[in-house]
Structure 1
Amino acid sequence: MSHTPLAITVLAAALALAGCGHPMQRGEHHTGKGYGAMSPETAPPAQAKVTASMPTLSSGYKKVEAPAGARLYFVNLRNGMTVGSPVKVVFGLSGMGVAPAGIEKVGTGHHHLLVNVSEWDANAPLPANEQFRHFGAGQTETSLELKPGQHTLQLVLGDQNHIPHHPVVMSERITITVK
């Protein structure tokens, strides 16, 4: 049986979760139980308003296709958590690999972290600012200085040109409280 680097990465991630009782191993969605301070019953945050993804843009740019089943998620944060600042954010990705911005490689992309973003365009390059944080060198985690209060976070995978894939590979939008 031939192993591609992506298959090896996915296999390594599955083995790392094996036997540890992690919700991802059991095919469950993260509920936040057992992952830090949680409010009693935290309702999921309203999802961001995102334009419908188009395979080809009006400019003629053909968006990079995401493999079926590709998934982006937060490894160490859950909706409703209370955390201190700086906030460590670890990005999880399955079904795809990570490549730096500017590198065109099938089945890869790079991370963008959306902080307090309620609306964005899935058919345009993601802007680079305090709300749209780019990790174009292929980083898979960061440390954020956030003011006390509630903040929303969402991960979006971008292609070599910072344009979301088609279909869009994004995490759920979560709300955290910084104490």
Structure 2
Amino acid sequence: MTRAHLLAGLAAIALLGGATATAQRRAMPENARVYILWPPDGATVKGGFWVRMGLSEGGIAPAGIDKAMTGHHHLLVDADLPPLDQPIPNDRNHLHFGLGQTEARLDLPPGRHTLQLLLADENHVPHDPPLASKRITITVLP
């Protein structure tokens, strides 16, 4: 086997293993915290409501912007925290606010739902230590 074949094989293994490979995690100020401003825990809301997201002692920057001590919000809807050493998934349970949004309108089906914020860096990787809000429970009315 030539060196080129060996390097190509190692590159293929790295690509295949990329989903489970750990990412470099960035720091945030020790006293930084994220929180849900609205709705409050236990709230009953009508469909089509606003979620307002907060961050103290850190900065908000859009995805792709490499700036120290910043990140952007991800809202976990009816989901547990994802692996904290990998990029946060992007699906209906892991909502990305990569433009730096601090509020968003949600349309959830009627019933009980949980919401939790997780701040992540420019590559959607949670910080070290992770900045996650308290998980709240809301009831959505039709």
| Superposition TM-score, scaled by structure 2 size | 0.82
**Partner residue, 1:71:** 33
For the structure 1 residues 81 and 138, does the alpha-carbon distance in structure 2 shift closer, same or farther, using more than 3 Å as the test? Answer: same
User: Which of 89, 100, 103 is the matching residue for 1:127?
Assistant: 89
Runs of 5+ unmatched residues, structure 2 = 1-19
> Do the aligned partners of 2:48 and 2:106 also contact (CA within 8 Å) in 1?
yes
Counterpart in the other structure of 2:128: 166
SS of corresponding position for 2:95 = strand
TM superposition shift of 1:76: 1.8
> Of residues 40, 60, 73 in structure 2, which corresponds to 1:111?
73
Give how far 1:62 is off: 2.6
Shift of 1:104: 0.8
Moved over 3 A (4+): 58-61
Give aligned pairs, total.
122
Structure 1: segments with no counterpart, 5+ residues: 1-57
Structure 1, residues 81-112: CA drift from partner, whole Å, max 9, x if none? 10111120000110101000011101100010
Determine the C-alpha separation between the residues in 1 that align with 2:21 and 2:82.
19
Give the corresponding residue for 1:146: 108
CA RMSD of aligned residues (A): 1.4
CA contact (8 A) 2:63 2:121 kept: yes
Query: TM-score scaled by structure 1?
Result: 0.65
**Equivalent position amino acid for 1:101 in 2:** A
CA deviation profile, 1:28-62 (whole Å, cap 9, x unmatched): xxxxxxxxxxxxxxxxxxxxxxxxxxxxxx95743
Quote the Cα distance in structure 1 between the aligned partners of 2:21 and 2:140. 41
1:79/1:86 CA distance change after superposition, 3 Å: same
Question: 1 or 2 for the larger relative contact order (CA 8 Å, sep ≥6)?
Answer: 2
Q: Which residue of 2 aligns with 1:94?
A: 56
Tell me, yes or no, if structure 1 residue 81 matches structure 2 residue 53: no
Separation in structure 2 between the aligned mates of residue 155 and residue 87 of structure 1, nearest angstrom: 16
